[in-house]
Structure 1
């Protein structure tokens, strides 16, 4: 199981590399539409009736996100101003989350409800697990496992949210004529690499949880 955790960590590093390399590659390929990421985001939002959702530029690289509290799509400056396949793909993906919010997409709603709990448990669980292992206290390990399981569930719920947003992005860009059929491969490469990072994170969290459970069960047998 420890080997699986290491393998998942390796997959996570590789996924991050793929995200950066694919984004860099397709950032050099201009979209035939000539539109910027901001243009694409605005056009899709307006078509879906989300006129009150603004599109803002933020500093940083790959800092793009949809803020469900402020109801705003925030794009990194390179995506906001960029005319590339990478820029329009990332912008459309974030708009996909705004549309999910509008439609009360089940997995997204559940993730939002879980966030306050996970924000707390993800900070406390490692302390309990490490403390339990150091002090050889199974009760602390058990409590840590319970709290850590919320973080794992959150990671797993994130998967359909991200894959659905990417699927929406590709469909909308093609139907709106924002990318041509021959540009679809680039869109898939950019969005697929990004999705892989979430898969790697979910696997690593899941394997870590199983590893702690096995430690707990082994300790119980010894008692």
Structure 2
């Protein structure tokens, strides 16, 4: 039986992603209106940092949407969203530098990033199979199947936890790169930190929700076994 304190915590944790998303949007919008003194666009900032680090072979392309920025390690290509690629705001260069941070991690063989890459295949499978297996196990009263689903779901939780140091480290590298390259001044770096910290909160919220969901599944099916 799950007591009321769990449900209160569950509700609070469930609200976190909404709050984190709104905070990120507000912070990004705020610094999207502040032009960088250097005049670098997101694409130019990313290119400069890559060249300084002898990584000029990495491609950069515009992608549709907002907050769709990413680094594709297979294609060796950075995708920058429409609100980042061609704009010269503090928000744009900060996000672009963060994606370059992932490239720097890969070049340095950053352990957490290597682990995340290894977890990715099983996590993709778990994302699609875990919950259906749990429900199928519940419907058929086949507890073994439900527990297999829970174990699979634990991989998605582990992936979200491993993602945290990867994202925080990429942001740390971004701030250092923006400073050393002269793309942002010391005063502008405070704004960049605000943007990247707000982005990091979305990953923290996601990890918290995943852990809470895993705990809920364990409590439900663990309680059934005890019964």
TM-score between both structures, scaled by the size of structure 1: 0.96
Bigger drift between 147-156 and 208-217 goes to 208-217
Q: CA deviation at 1:134?
A: 3.4
The answer on 1:144 being equivalent to 2:141 is no
Count of equivalent residues: 222
Bigger drift between 210-219 and 199-208 goes to 210-219
Q: CA deviation at 1:103?
A: 1.2
Distance 1:186 1:14 in 2: 20
Bigger drift between 112-121 and 127-136 goes to 127-136
Match in the other structure for 1:25: 30
The answer on 1:52 being equivalent to 2:57 is yes
TM-score between both structures, scaled by the size of structure 2: 0.95
Match in the other structure for 1:129: 134
The answer on 1:97 being equivalent to 2:92 is no
Match in the other structure for 1:116: 121
The answer on 1:209 being equivalent to 2:214 is yes
Where 1:161 maps in the other structure, the secondary structure is helix
Question: Deviation digits for residues 54-89 of structure 1, max 9, x if unmatched?
Answer: 111111111110001001111012201011000000
Q: CA deviation at 1:22?
A: 0.8
Q: CA deviation at 1:128?
A: 1.3
Question: Deviation digits for residues 77-104 of structure 1, max 9, x if unmatched?
Answer: 2201011000000000000001111111
Does the CA contact (< 8 Å) of 1:30 and 1:85 recur in 2? yes
Of 82, 85, 88, the residue aligned with 2:90 is 85
Where 1:79 maps in the other structure, the secondary structure is coil
Q: CA deviation at 1:2?
A: 3.4
Match in the other structure for 2:191: 186
Unaligned runs of 5+ in 1: none
The answer on 1:13 being equivalent to 2:6 is no
Q: CA deviation at 1:144?
A: 1.1
Q: CA deviation at 1:159?
A: 0.3
Q: CA deviation at 1:140?
A: 2.2
Distance 2:220 2:67 in 1: 37
Of 62, 68, 82, the residue aligned with 1:63 is 68
Unaligned runs of 5+ in 2: 1-5
Match in the other structure for 1:221: 226
Question: Deviation digits for residues 3-31 of structure 1, max 9, x if unmatched?
Answer: 32322220001101111111111000011
Distance 2:51 2:82 in 1: 21
Match in the other structure for 2:45: 40
Distance 1:179 1:77 in 2: 21
Does the CA contact (< 8 Å) of 1:2 and 1:211 recur in 2? no
* RMSD (Å), alpha carbons: 1.1
